[in-house]
Amino acid sequence: MQRPTKIPTISLSNSPESPKKLKLIFQTPKHKHTSSLITPKASNIKCKPLTTLVSNSKLSISKLMSPSLASLKLNSKHKHAFSENASGLIKNLNPIKGKQISSLDKKPTWKSMLLPLTSETVLRLFSSSLNSYEHKEILSYTEIYYISYGMPKLKPTSQSNFGFDDDKGDYKIFISDHIAYRYEIKSLMGRGSFGQVVKVFDHKEKKEIALKIIKNRPRFYQQALEEIEILKYIKDKDPNDIYCIVHILGDFVFRNHMCIMFDILSIDLYQYIKLNNYQGLPLPTIKKLAAQILQALRLIDRYKIIHCDLKPENILLKSITGTTLKVIDFGSACFYEKRMYTYIQSRFYRSPEVILGLSYTTSIDMWSFGCILSELYTGKPIFPGENESDQLLCIMEVLGLPPKYLLDKGTKVKLFFNDDNKPKIVLNSKGKKRSPATKSLREILFGCEDGFYDLVEQCLEWDHHKRITPDDALLHEWMFEEYQIQRVKRENMHQRACSDGSFLKLPRKFDKLGSYIEGTSNIAS
């Protein structure tokens, strides 16, 4: 299509005949038709076939026309220049009354920005949304995905980590505040001795995650480094995520707080029991949960990792409507060769060797597992001790006295036994006196299947050398069928066995029925 040979201009005439009237004048192209579909309509704009000047005062169309006017097309067929609304738009342009406001003059909003921004851009456009500390801090970040735009800001102080921490070393949580200029705090999910867990929205990946914010204390910081090391090691050994252990997504330090990222899960097993009014769960459900917990224990047992805090609160369901779970919280975990602490495990699930001051291994997690099985069935902790002395008395009340050879080795035995190895009996807060062997495990697990009872009994052995292992537990008659069902599901999901050994294959073993099954061996080899 042939275009006009002259650039249109707008002229302003100050003559009495046409005071302050804008006229658009142009030269019509020689081609018969244009692509304009506009029909002729009367307009105040007078057009002439030749470019002339109406007066000495003229303004360039590039300065006066808005983007919408600049895109209007000519219609040479009907000797008509603009669309039917052009007249009104031109009338609104009054160069005498004042300058038209450009969209660039409007103050930008955060939502209008194309992310990420540089720190320099944020300081130039949104400095009022940052406090004095953030004005300096933000310069160390190359990509900015989120700031708490328009929110009141905490005033920095010279104490408590510039005012960002409380007196316990926990980071002060404010909904909609930012973490590392990328994560938006949505809610507080939980807190513990380690710090807090918050739900955040990752503005880079566009998804919600769980962020574990560790206390700003040297001991907890060091412990978090060990947790991260173990989590990364487990993830490396379980690349296909089949061993029911939570996978770390990443970690970083923000304002002296170590932060660890995880996928968001659902409720824990304690809350699951609570939803059932502490009445306990059906054995088929317990079996599904137990097989997955054993898978997690099996993996860490192979690589000599001790969880050290296995309990219902640290086992989370992926969905409230299902039974798929993940073992979480490796904040107390350690490699067997790096055992440092003697005061470990939550009290209700603490093993006898830890209480008595004996050497401990990965088998302390199997003791905790046995306690969890009982609690899932009854709805209540099997050994609800008020303190460590009462805890040991709770255990002896059901299992009787520990073997003498264990008492001879324990470094803390004198706290709980007299010189003749008789237990020191004390009353609890309710005035109750607990005596050894006055309650039976069969009584506690009344009405359960024999296979379930036998599995729990083998978990709750005084001597950890006699305690059942995760592999043997999966091959237990009560557990094996469920283990095989779940194993087939996992293999179908991933469609291959891992060549790096991350899927632990057991050697074959001949069972009582004469068919070949997968057996056990020393998996540490």
Q: What is the secondary structure of 339-364 as a DSSP string?
A: ---SS-S-GGG--HHHHHT----THH
Closest CA to 470 of 247, 245, 319: 245
Count how many residues are written for the chain: 525
In 3-state terms, what secondary structure has residue 187? strand
- Cα gap 420→453, rounded to integer Å: 33
Nearest C-alpha neighbor of 210 from the set 111, 326, 322: 326
Please tell me the number of Cα atoms within 13 Å of 188 on its side-chain side: 11
Tell me which of 165, 170, 268, 309 is the catalytic residue: 309
Among 362, 394, 376, which residue's Cα sits nearest to residue 467? 362
* Residue in the structure block whose two tokens are 């006295």: 401
**Which residues pair with residue 199 across a beta bridge?**
187, 210
Please tell me whether residue 265 adopts helix, strand or coil conformation.
coil
309 catalytic? Reply is yes
User: Is 382 buried (19+), middle (13-18) or exposed (0-12) by CB count in 10 A?
Assistant: buried
If one counts every other C-beta atom within 10 angstroms of the C-beta of residue 508, the result is: 10
Supply 289's token pair.
């949960």
End-to-end CA distance of the chain: give it in Å, rounded: 81
Written as one string, the DSSP assignment of 374-400 is HHHHHSS-SS--SSHHHHHHHHHHHH-
| Tokens read off for 8 | 């249109």
From residue 103, alpha-carbon distances to 100, 109, 111 in Å are: 10, 13, 16
Catalytically annotated residues = 309
